[in-house]
Amino acid sequence: MTTAEMFNSHPSETRLDRELLTRTVDALLSCAQACTVCADACLSGEEQDARMGECIRTDLNCADICATTARVLSRHTGDNAEVARAQLEACVQACRSCGDECERHADHHEHCRICAEACRTCEQACRDLLATMP
């Protein structure tokens, strides 16, 4: 099962471009997973100090916001454009903050580099979808 298969099988139409919506939801889910693993890796590392605390917090916030945004965007029946727009805007901010924080540690932690990349990809996908919303 893929996101595209599920969206294409949905009997209700959406005002959003399905291909762009699919890419965005996939980016959101991938980012949520990367942030969750990054937070866990930060907790498991030898450098558990105050510097990693902020990274863990931004990872967990971003993971939660991305996962929620994916769920909101996956509901086509009676979709509420204002709520979807607000959720996407919050996600852009969460991804930007998390990406910035993870980039601070990317030279020393591969998981932070990977997470920052996932955040940047997700941030751009959300911006792209926002740009097409009525």
Low-confidence ranges of the chain (pLDDT < 50): none
Distance CA 132, CA 82 (A): 13
User: Is residue 5 situated within a structural domain?
Assistant: no
Supply the pLDDT for residue 15: 74
User: Is residue 6 situated within a structural domain?
Assistant: no
User: Is residue 3 situated within a structural domain?
Assistant: no
**pTM of the full predicted structure?**
0.90
Percent of all residues in the chain with a pLDDT value above 90, rounded to a whole number: 66
User: Is residue 9 situated within a structural domain?
Assistant: no
Supply the pLDDT for residue 6: 67
Distance CA 9, CA 49 (A): 48
Supply the pLDDT for residue 16: 73
34-70: per-residue pLDDT in tens?
999 999 999 886 656 667 889 999 999 999 999 999 9
Question: Which residue range forms the structural domain that includes residue 23?
Answer: 17-132
CATH (domain of 93): 1.20.1270.360
User: Is residue 44 situated within a structural domain?
Assistant: yes
Structural domain count, the chain: 1
